[in-house]
Amino acid sequence: MQLMQRILVLTILLVPVFTSNPCCLEGQVLLVKKDGCWNPLTNVTVPSKLTCKVPVKFLKNFYINDAQQLKLHLGGESDETFESDAYCTGNLTTIRDVTLNKTKPAVIVCADEEDDIIDDRILGYTMILSIIFLTATAVIYALLPELRDVQGKSIINFCISLAIGLGILVIMKLMAYSNMDLCATRGFLAYFFTTAAFFWSNAISIQVLLNTRRPATLDYSWHEFKWYALYAWGAPAVLTICMAIVNYHPGSHPKPGIGLNHCWFFNKQQQWYYMYSVLSILLAANICIFIYTSLLIWRLSFSSSHIKAVKYKFVMTVRLIVLMGLPWVFEMIGSLAKEHIIWSILDVFNTLQGILIFLLLVVFRKRVIKMMYKHGWLNCISGFVEKHLAIEDDEENVVQHTDVPMNDRTII
């Protein structure tokens, strides 16, 4: 009984922060991951006074003027004004905060967007499937020494960065947040690892290009790889730091909005400024590299075995970049179009790219299957594996792989 009285007193003391356009009745608060007003005494959630299809919550960078207009400020052209009938105010917390000692002032506005066709939780679960297969790909390449050449190490880093990026996005989609500093950390880390995956794909493309201009070799050393690592990890780190500075530096410039009101970008415009623009440049660079590489392959003066080896690596890399880049291209296009079932289906396809990458880099790459079989990993299905390997593969015809690299560089 005493606990209930304490909760009632705290509710009365903490809830009435705003006096204009309250979302909820006295004794009720807003919840982070649910729409509506929650009463901690009865544990009942009821609709708020503001009725709209897509309510959006804001915790920072807003104020209410004397005319009872809500002003949202994120810099640049992102400033917006809402009339009194388009917003409401209240205190925000999580459903675990029954004593209401962690509430924060917040406003809710009605967004112009339509309801999502596919729930974020479904996308979160499909991302988890991708993470599992990306992790499996990285582990297989890491445990098999024959695959740890420069390209193999790059594939490991590519899969790890993409898996971690998806993992953080899953946390953002499926878990409630109340600490905006932790929320911002999640957002910047998701940006860093997602961008790093694209830089690693670009590094792999560069490796294929360089291999067309020199005799094909399997380089197991760290000397060449460290330069790719410096590029593929360093560039995203610099971009993330610069974006964080822009995000928190005072001024009227367009800000990403990460951690200011949400864990991710404020809107699609900000996402184009700071993320899609970078990804577009990297995808365009990969396309240019592929075109130039294809021209070089036709003009190669090396032996036919070298040409076959380069062609195999080239085709595999093109498929990898297409599997990763094409869904993001669709997402970029979809961000400029109205909500439609087609874009929602493509969103699901985008979140399942880890499965497709596993099929390309493990299941359909016979060199990997051969090494797994050689190490006894596939003894339980040896009959099927032997039939699968019976059909010769270009790479297996021209590349002589050794179990133990000699002098770091083994000529094919």
Q: How many residues does the chain have?
A: 412
Q: Is 2 helix (H, G, I), strand (E, B) or coil?
A: helix
Spatial separation of the C-alpha atoms in residues 275 and 133, rounded to whole Å: 25
Which pTM was predicted?
A: 0.74
Nearest partner of 30 among 85, 120, 94, judged by Cα: 94
- Give the model confidence (pLDDT) of 308-356 as tens digits: 666 777 788 888 888 878 777 877 887 777 777 787 788 888 889 999 9
335 vs 230 pLDDT, higher one: 230
Q: Which whole-number Å values give the CA distances from 339 to 10, 59, 110, 115, 261, in the listed order? A: 42, 26, 17, 8, 23
Mean pLDDT within 202-220: 77
Domains within the chain, CATH numbers bracketed: 2-110 (no CATH), 120-411 (1.20.1070.10)
pLDDT of residue 111: 65
pLDDT at 9 over 50: no
What is the DSSP code (8-state) at residue 258? B
pLDDT at 219 over 60: yes
pLDDT of residue 255: 84
Mean pLDDT within 45-57: 81
pLDDT of residue 112: 56
Contacts of 96 (CB under 8 A, 6+ apart): none
Lowest pLDDT segment from 7-21, 143-157, 235-249, 362-376: 7-21
pLDDT of residue 324: 77
pLDDT at 277 over 70: yes
Confidence of residue 407 (pLDDT cuts 50, 70, 90): very low
**Tokens 């995808």 appear where?**
283
**What letters, b where the CB count within 10 A reaches 16 and e where it falls short, cover 45-82?**
beebebebeebbbbbbbbebeeeeebebebbeebeeeb
Both tokens of 297, joined, read: 């392959």
pLDDT of residue 142: 96
pLDDT of residue 281: 95
Mean pLDDT within 109-123: 69
